[in-house]
Amino acid sequence: MASIEMKNIVKKYGDGFPAVNDVSLDIADGEFMILVGPSGCGKSTLLRMIVGLEDITSGDMVIGGTRVNDKAPRDRNLSMVFQNYALYPHMSVYENIAFPLRLSKTPDDQVDRLVKEAADVLELHEHLDRKPANLSGGQRQRVAMGRAIVRQAEAFLFDEPLSNLDAKLRGQMRTEIARLQRRLGITTVYVTHDQTEAMTLGDRVCVLRKGSIQQVASPRELYEQP
Ligand code: ADP
Ligand code: ADP
């Protein structure tokens, strides 16, 4: 697990107004930080700079005390959970969760132990032989998180993970993500449009507007009426 420190982060695409304009934000080890703000305010760009999918124009990105500006995504050891879960349809749940361990040539007995531990936490042990197509949306989300858990990633990054789900499932998944994050105590950055998600999930909420931070506050400070 690791803290994420952003210092005067700027992202320019071409000559236009910066997509991210001098953002400084410290996310503590184990903290759940929500990024909110209108469409186009720079949430996804900021998330992609944390994970390394987008170059930083200027400023410093420091993860776990190490400057990572020039580190490739695979060397940052973060786990991005995508909206579409990015599961492999031809592989079982077991192999989907095991995938990062196969890539790093982890010995089979260790893979088995780590996958089963993750399946336990996520209550997926009865589904390990199934294919993703035979799972519910919530179960697929858990498989995607299982993959992050076995990698022992430093942090979870979510880009509107629940926006394609119906209201009932979204509520369930919100509860699951909150439970899982507390249980793992893993640093989490979560982009959403949804005020309920921001209120119930976040330790703090960072409000972005036109590429800049407008406010950073606890959900209570931000949303509760006086
Ligand atoms: P959000 O996630 O808050 O909706 P984005 O981070 O996707 O916002 O976008 C922030 C701004 O940067 C927007 O004005 C968007 O059009 C622009 N932008 C995002 N990605 C690119 C890109 N690859 N090339 C040019 N402009 C981009
Ligand atoms: P989202 O709702 O996921 O933020 P967007 O429409 O903002 O969707 O962006 C979808 C993709 O298009 C992203 O990969 C983003 O980087 C890219 N993109 C967004 N705005 C621009 C732009 N003005 N020029 C080029 N690419 C862009």
Q: Per residue in 67-94, pLDDT tens?
A: 999 999 989 989 887 766 679 999 999 9
Ligand 1 atom closest to Cα of 38?
3
Distance between Cα 19 and ligand 1 center (Å): 6
User: Hey, which residues does 207 pair with through a beta bridge?
Assistant: 36, 215
pLDDT (0 to 100) of residue 84: 64
Check: complex ipTM more than 0.90: no
Ligand 1 atom closest to Cα of 48?
6
For the Cβ of 82 lying below 6 angstroms from any atom of ligand 1, the answer is no
Instruction: Indicate the DSSP class of residue 222.
Output: H
Percent of the chain with pLDDT over 90: 64
Mean pLDDT of 124-140: 91
Distance between Cα 210 and ligand 2 center (Å): 15
**31-40, 86-95, 178-187: range with lowest mean pLDDT:** 178-187
pLDDT (0 to 100) of residue 225: 66
Could you report the per-residue pLDDT of 185-195, keeping only the tens digit for each?
A: 889 999 998 88
Structure tokens at 86: 């990015």
